[in-house]
Structure 1
Amino acid sequence: MLRERLTPDRIRFAADVESWQQAIDLVSAPLVDDGSITPDYVEAMTTAVAAPGGTYIDLGSGVALAHARPEAGVVRPALSYLRVRPAVLLADDPAHPIDLFLCLAASDSSEHIQTMQELAVLLTDEDARAGLLDATTPADVTSVLSQIGQNA
């Protein structure tokens, strides 16, 4: 499912991102542009991170998964990727430097859980995680996803 949701046109790289808010805008832009999510969904993600405890999207190892409730503006399931250099502080908290932002648009809880399980497999594989963080092109990211297996 990850390879179906994270297509090359949804993979971006950015230098000198000024804030976590800008990172969320940038990671969600491909999904807004292709109609997978609405601007309301972006606002809901930003509001969630700004709220107390908003750093819950930090998955560890410099990876954050931006997402909100489906009813906030998911049109169809999708996933996007943004590699930032240097890292930005999630919710301006020095304990949460983020190098890689993913944006998840899940249409229901079942899809959310399935995608989270697949991401867990991907991100707990040290070589795959390193490959995602070292990627410099969409082809690099796609290659990492292909190496994880048929279910990724």
Structure 2
Amino acid sequence: MQLDHLLTKETIRLQVRATGRMDVVQKAGELLVASGNADARYIEAMKHSLKTHGPYMVIVPGVALLHARPEDGVRQLCMSLVTLDPPIEFGNPDNDPVSVAFALGAEDNSKHVEAIAVLAGLLEDEQAMETIRHSTSVDEVLQIIAAAQAGE
């Protein structure tokens, strides 16, 4: 499945105010639940993973990839995107603060690989990520995602 099938107007929220890292997980996770692709318990599993394993989910400067295990309540492959204003500290000394959070749910350990590959390409495009960080238009973000997916 491609990113443009996972990230839609319904699964993207921009310039969100959060009270802390667990609130970021809550807000990003709620979009997965609202899409019908994850159960509410998946949000709690992502929070538990962050508490247990620390801020390893902050994968590059300013970006968190929130996730938990497939068996923790994922119905089918899903992803959400939340930009944060102001950015939030997750406790990662190398990559904080977080201004963009993706939440990923996969129903097994392999179906998300293609989406992760496209996401990696998007994360490498500094200009695209900077535009996403500051955008107030979901349509603009969707155009950037489509361009990244097309390899532009």
Question: TM-score by structure 2 length?
Answer: 0.90
Q: Deviation string for 1:6-41 (max 9, x for gaps)?
A: 011111124431111111111111211221111111
Report 1:17-56 matches (<5 A): 17-51=18-52, 53-56=53-56
Helix, strand or coil for the counterpart of 1:148? helix
Larger deviation, residues 42-51 vs 110-119 = 110-119
Using the alignment, how far apart are the partners of 2:149 and 2:35 within structure 1?
27
Q: Could you tell me which residue of structure 2 aligns to residue 101 of structure 1?
A: 101
Aligned length: 149
Q: Could you tell me which residue of structure 2 aligns to residue 61 of structure 1?
A: 61
Shift of 1:148: 1.5
Segments of 5+ residues of structure 2 without an aligned counterpart are none
Helix, strand or coil for the counterpart of 1:110? coil
Sequence identity (%): 28
Please say if 1:88 is aligned against 2:88.
yes
Q: Could you tell me which residue of structure 2 aligns to residue 118 of structure 1?
A: 118
Question: TM-score by structure 1 length?
Answer: 0.90
Using the alignment, how far apart are the partners of 1:149 and 1:73 within structure 2?
27
Helix, strand or coil for the counterpart of 1:25? helix
Q: Could you tell me which residue of structure 2 aligns to residue 150 of structure 1?
A: 150
Shift of 1:151: 7.0
Using the alignment, how far apart are the partners of 1:13 and 1:109 within structure 2?
29
What is the one-letter code of the residue matched to 1:35?
G
